[in-house]
Amino acid sequence: MIEGLKPYAEYKESGLPWLGRCPKHWNVRRTKILFHERVQKGFPNEPLLAATQTKGVVKKEDYETRTVTAQKDLHLLKLVEVGDYVISLRSFQGGIEVAHCRGIISPAYTVLKPQKQAVSRYYSHFFKAKAFIDSLSLFVTGIREGQNIDYERLSRAEMPMPPEEEQAAIVRFLDHANRKIDGFIRAKRKLIGLLNEQKQAIIHRAVTRGLHPDVPLKPSGIPWLGDIPKHWEVFRCGSLFREVVDVGHPNARLLSIDRFKGIIPQDETGRRTRASYDRGAYKRVKPGQLAYNLMNAFMGALGFSPYDGIVSPAYAVAQPLREIETRYFHYLLRTSSYTGEFNRLSYGIMYERNRLYFERFKVVRALFPPLDEQKAIADWIEANTRSLNTAIARTEREIALMQEYRTRLTADLVTGKLDVREAAAKLPDLPTDTPDEPLEELEPEEVEA
């Protein structure tokens, strides 16, 4: 699609250091001219909304498992109309979000109503462009976890305003490009899903039946697990692990749990820390200790740490009570049999997401082969899933490259680096009756203010 795209014929200095040059015929306007702040309250019967970095502003009921819901003073929440923009507590990290539905949202947020010259979806792309997000650092107040955008300052800042017909051309081109990119990513994610299913089948068989197909079996006594090798033992997790809480290490390396890779440094996940927590409250994890996300253990957010660092207060940390092969238990406790049991044992209060507290984790019964067999099973799994891991990593990299391409393309178009007017005019209309299923994105953990 981008073959033949060229820069504009003439440029001028925009006067904005973060933008540099822009097309000569583009205007530059103050934010408060393009958008008026909407401060309307007293609509307690409207649906609650959540501002998300990947889906925009959506109904909280469609996103309720990831945020804590306000329970009172709904008349104090701000009204949001379809097409409005919302500056959330995390917009300085990921841009300003567009609203896809009417509802009410936290009074800590700023709601912007686009004026006539900004009603196209051009700004929904512009507000997510890296150059604009980087520029928001100029309007941030507070330090560390308390940072927020000072809208009074942002409202006086200028931003580019292409002619309305040109805004429409940019949106048209990006709609077509994004449909192709989404199709590519969707196919690659389906492939990753199939590879992971194959990998999990290999792992499940090994950790629940061992490596010898003819070994005598016995009932495990665990209804959701079935028969196991006769010489294996079964222990409750409370007999294998004890919870440890070691806080007060704010400068330690921050760790997180990847659902497929286990515990890794957080800077390798692309996710952000919770804004509402002080690092001093984070829990220390030592090599060989088990950690799991209280809210996502049922999704496989569990692993043994190879690092010395800290994890979110929303994690549980446990020390093995006897000599074990941590790799075996890493695989065992992430199988669908165990994550299903974690889901059954999790519970929450009101609208909070269910949590697997350690008192519940302790009652889970875990298989316990002899130590040398634990090591042999772990070695066998690693040898027999190596090619699958390579294929998964390669496919993930292809997705990452395509996402980088999308980011760069969007930035080049909304800042006027490439002219798409002629190309957009030749594109067919997209069908409106068969929308693509939206891509599922993993949101960083957040607490709604």
Each residue of 318-349: pLDDT tens digit? Answer: 999 999 999 999 999 999 999 999 999 998 75
Please indicate whether residue 54 or residue 282 has the higher confidence score (pLDDT): 282
Question: How far is C-alpha 123 from the chain's CA centre?
Answer: 23
Q: How much is the pLDDT for 236?
A: 97
Q: How much is the pLDDT for 90?
A: 81
0.85 exceeded by the pTM? Answer: no
- Least confident range from 198-212, 225-239, 248-262, 282-296: namely 248-262
Q: How much is the pLDDT for 68?
A: 47
Q: For residues 382-400, give the mean pLDDT.
A: 96
pLDDT in tens, 207-221: 999 999 999 999 999
Residues of the chain with pLDDT > 70: what percent? 89
Q: How much is the pLDDT for 431?
A: 81
Residue-averaged pLDDT of the chain: 89
pLDDT in tens, 34-74: 999 999 999 999 999 999 888 899 998 876 544 445 456 89
Residues of the chain with pLDDT > 90: what percent? 73
pLDDT over threshold 80, residue 449: no
pLDDT over threshold 90, residue 174: yes
* CB within 8 Å of 102: residues ≥ 6 apart: 46, 47, 79, 80, 81, 82
pLDDT over threshold 60, residue 437: no
Please indicate whether residue 240 or residue 269 has the higher confidence score (pLDDT): 240
